[in-house]
Amino acid sequence: MPASLDIHKSALLARQTELIARLVALEHRLDAPQTPDWDDLAIAREDDEVLEATGLSGQHELRQIEAALERIDHGTYGICARCGAAIGDDRLNALPYTPVCRTCAT
């Protein structure tokens, strides 16, 4: 395994742990009992929508990270899923879970 692959894998695992912790914390907040005050309830409901949107984007990123970790296991990580070219290390450093190269992403 090349050294850079190791670095990307650690970054993916660290991000995965962080996202799971955040999603678990979000679920606890969404399940928390509502305050009986009506004004607060309206605000709490808006908060919930924001929290749910955050949760959805987190779950989406989590799925991309899981897919990237599978590609590492299968030896296809860092290869563009669309054109088969190698994805640059600078792009993988910025977006370790990306399945496509810079050209295909634009």
101 binds Zn ion (CB under 5 A): yes
Q: Quick one: 41 or 94, whose CB is closer to Zn ion?
A: 94
- Provide the minimum distance between the beta carbon of 42 and Zn ion in the complex, in angstroms, as a whole number: 47
**Judged by CB under 5 A, which of 5, 72, 95, 104 binds Zn ion?**
104
Q: Which residues pair with 86 in a beta bridge?
A: 79
82 binds Zn ion (CB under 5 A): yes
Q: What is the largest CA-CA distance in the chain?
A: 58
Instruction: Please state, in angstroms and as integers, the Cα–Cα distance from residue 68 to each residue in 8, 13, 15, 53, 102, following that order.
Output: 10, 10, 12, 23, 16
**Judged by CB under 5 A, which of 65, 69, 80, 92 binds Zn ion?**
80
Contacts with 3 (C-beta within 8 Å, 6 or more apart), sequence order: none
Span from 32-40, 55-63, 74-82, 90-98 in contact with Zn ion (CB under 5 A): 74-82
Q: Quick one: 26 or 104, whose CB is closer to Zn ion?
A: 104
Phi, psi of 79 (to 5 degrees): -110, 130
Interface with Zn ion (CB under 5 A)? 80, 82-83, 85, 101, 104
